[in-house]
Amino acid sequence: MDRTIVVEVDAVTGDRVIVGKSELLHAMKHFLLPEDLLVQLLTRILQHPTEVYTDDTKHPREYRLFYRLENANYLLVVVKLTPGGAFFASMYPTGKSIKNAHKKMKRVKI
């Protein structure tokens, strides 16, 4: 499968996150922003998160959840870690708090 890469972002965790075109277009449905501004927001969250959680217990692959508090609301970027690299999976607002299920996950020291 041919994957169109929009950008690669160096996250605060040391991961080089590959952002694909189809995943970015899907995330655009959650935000009323043009693609270039969404990439800037995504980069800000990955490089300057408020909290980072990891989920490596329920899935064969590890997920990192990058939360950033912006204007009293949390934004979430989901990154999937695979043997082939770190890939942007999704991005969406979660409201005034971090999801309760995510609070139970391991917190990554940043």
* 5 beta partners: 20
Give the separation between CA 49 and CA 29, rounded to whole angstroms: 22
56-98: pLDDT as tens digits: 666 666 899 999 999 999 999 999 999 899 999 999 999 999 9
Domain ranges for the chain, please list them: 5-107
Compute the residue count for the chain: 110
Contact between 10 and 16 under an 8 Å Cβ cutoff? The reply is yes
- Assess whether pLDDT exceeds 50 at residue 99: yes
- Assess whether pLDDT exceeds 80 at residue 34: yes
Q: Which of 57, 53, 46, 34 is nearest to 91 (CA)?
A: 46
